[in-house]
Amino acid sequence: MIVTILILTAVYTFYMGYTDGSNAVATSITTKAMNPRFAIYLSAAIQFATVVVMYFLVKDMSVAATIGNGMIDATAYEGIDQKSAFIFILSALLSSILWSVITFFLKQPNSTSHTLLGGIIGAGIGAFGFGSILWTNVLLRIVLMIFLAPLLSVAIGFLINKLLRRIALRASIGAGKVVKVLQWGNVVLLSSAISVNDAQKSFGIYLLLVTIGLTDVLTPPIYLPFVFGAALAFGMIFGGYRIIITIGNKLYKIKPLMSLSSQIATNVVIFSSSALGIPISTGQVISSTIVGIGISERARGVRWLTVRRIVLGWIITMPATIAFGATFYLLTKLILGGLL
């Protein structure tokens, strides 16, 4: 049972890397500050290393704690048998993976974070009822952030770009080289920031295994950070260019200084949310910072039709995966109930 869950978690982690990982380098590649192939492999290596280092050095993973025990009342798990516990977590993962596959083929922007959160909530409703969900926590830390994180990102992107524009106007001709170097440094930081937030979602699934009683090994096994780190890295390598095109060109025509503004703003939002234990969509954040930068430069230049499609994906993901999670639990229990 545990092996099955960990394999599906690795698949989910790969998809996070596929959709989120290249956000770290999208703007730097678009502005030609970095060679595309080198940037993607560098970011993939940093994301892998960050997961491993985080496992050994960071003992309090607050984002993982939110996923592992911050959405469903722990008393709901009391007396649950292993079969029902397995079906609950299996349903949450299957719903998030299926929704991700559907949106991928429909070319509809999607948040991998929200698919997992919605899947867990939906499976929890199916398994334990509406009353088992910690609705206050869910509404404040998850649902509210679906709307608040983009607004904050737009505002921070707007302000940082305005600030850097003022500094650049007073700078020397060599400022372009400085901006290029700073973009390189920000790629390293942004790759780490994305990896920290995304990997904790994977570790959160393991913590959920502990909370629900499927394993009594409290500390994730030493091989897990290597598995999750590799999944993120390979996802980044295989999915890089598809996301880069959307982020770098289809929202606003990015220039070098704007790229730096977006990277700084994204780092501020993602590191802050990770510190507060809030699982957010890194793609949502970087897209929103670019929109903020576009508004600060020329609002008419923002591709608003693309923005609408992305926002639509954010709005429908949670309700869809909640419904998927509940349905998967009922169907899976019906199918596997007599087999396990």
Q: Which residue reads 């394993």 in tokens?
A: 215
- pLDDT above 60 (res 258): yes
pLDDT band of residue 339 (cuts 50, 70, 90) is low
Q: Residue 248: what pLDDT? A: 55
45 confidence band (pLDDT: 50, 70, 90): very high
d(CA 15, CA 239): 9
Amino acid 179: pLDDT: 74
Identify the CA nearest to 25 among candidates 245, 199, 231, 234.
245
pLDDT at 205 over 80: yes
How much of the chain exceeds pLDDT 90, in percent? 27
Average pLDDT of every residue of the chain: 84
Tally the domains of the chain.
1
Share of residues in the chain with pLDDT > 70 (%):
92
Confidence of residue 333 (pLDDT cuts 50, 70, 90): confident
Quick one: average pLDDT of 73-94? 89
* Phi, then psi, of 270 in degrees rounded to 5: -70, -45
pLDDT at 23 over 90: no
What is the model's pLDDT at position 6? 93
At 42, the amino acid letter reads L
* Residue 188 pLDDT grade (very low, low, confident, very high; cuts 50, 70, 90): confident
pLDDT band at residue 53, thresholds of 50, 70 and 90?
Answer: very high
Helix (H, G, I), strand (E, B) or coil at 221: coil
Amino acid at 146: I
Tokens of 3: 């092996």
Q: Domain residues for 195? A: 2-336
Q: For position 113, what pLDDT does the model report?
A: 83
CA–CA distance, 246 with 80 (Å, rounded to integer): 44
Is residue 229 helix, strand or coil? helix
What SS3 class is residue 133? Answer: strand
What radius of gyration do the chain's Cα atoms show?
20
Q: Return the sign of the alpha-carbon dihedral for residues 298, 269, 184, 18.
A: negative
Alpha helices in 26-132 (DSSP H): 26-30, 36-57, 62-69, 82-106, 112-128
Range of 89-93, 138-142, 217-221 with top mean pLDDT:
89-93
**Tens digit of each residue's pLDDT (9 = 90 or more) over 135-149:** 998 888 888 888 888
User: Cβ contacts of residue 139 below 8 Å, gap of 6+?
Assistant: none
